[in-house]
Amino acid sequence: MSNSPEWVLAALEERKRQALFRQTVVMEGAQVPSVNINQKDYLAFCSNDYLGLANHPAMVKAMHDSALTYGVGSGASHLVNGHNREHQNLEEELADWLGYERVMLFSTGYMANLGVIAAFAGKDNGIVQDKLNHASLIDGAQLAGAKMRRYLHSDLNSARKILTSFTQEQEKSTILATDGIFSMDGDRAPLAGLAQMCQQNDALLMVDDAHGLACCGESGRGSMALEGLTARDVPLLVGTFGKAFGTAGAFVACSHDFADYLTQFSRPYIYTTAMSPAIVGATRASLAIIRSEEGLMLRHKLAANIAFFRQAVSKLPIELGESETAIQPIMLGDSELALRVSDTLKKSGIWCTAIRPPTVPKGSARLRITLSAQHDFEQISHLVNSLSSAIATRN
């Protein structure tokens, strides 16, 4: 007999009734394409480890070496005494790679977005956002108490109309925030058009490129590089290490002045313990790989896997999203249907979690297929054949 309040139990039952109930599973072993869950072996196609670096030997060794030198915990926030030489080296290496004056580390990508938006937006200025932005960008605006309006997904005309009206209403700069690669759809934001628009309206463009950095573009510099943009075009760039970098944590790349401003006014930065130096050591090794010939080869392999998958799946009677990235959504619409197809795939040894509201808009439940440079064509063929069988029996 539960002692929980009735309203808690009712909310849980409602989630179950709507086929929206969520729960964790326990994976044994390292983050690799072949995983063991509930004592069964699966091929995983839902990880954000796009380059397959999460278990790279060089990074495992770097984490071990860093822990021996600097310990595991940082012990304090960056502004107390938690900012050690590993943190500083990573910030400088990222700034050099990306072409920014400064980089600041955050413990998570969610905190980075909260910290930047809450510092730069508020009651005196507004924030304009894409309809499909990540939840952390939306939450950041709400935390700041900022006036927020959202434009139609990747629609420059809609964005321009809203941004122009905002600019006329306030004294401080408007923030325009967007994902670089949209996490649930895999499509790219029209960054060049947005950058030009922001310059014309004296607005600040903020790009969360969590799913683009390291794995998109020849250099790995993500969505900005794909459109030829620089730090001048994108004053605030957020990146995470938990995706293609294969570790954990996040950063903001910006100017010296903006970094000083965030140091004074970004509460998640000021009041949070710094990243583990051991993780920072592993991330430095990851960045070295990403910038090397090996990193280029991994990006080429990922691109080949994406092309192979899209060509193979195009023969199936399914709705595949318009994505050229590692994120390949298969749109199913109904949440119960998405769960059924996901469960059918599990019987074929494929692990791909159904994505349902509120993570995605109502009526747009899907399978979010994610590809890695560590997948091979045989594994992808098994996925496509399994999808064919699952779709054929979905009703």
Catalytic residue list contains 2:
no
Select which of 56, 78, 87, 243 is catalytic: 243
Select which of 83, 134, 211, 375 is catalytic: 211
Select which of 183, 286, 323, 335 is catalytic: 183
Catalytic residue list contains 300:
no
Contact 321, 328 (CB under 8 A): yes
Catalytic residue list contains 211:
yes
Q: Which residues are catalytic?
A: 183, 211, 243
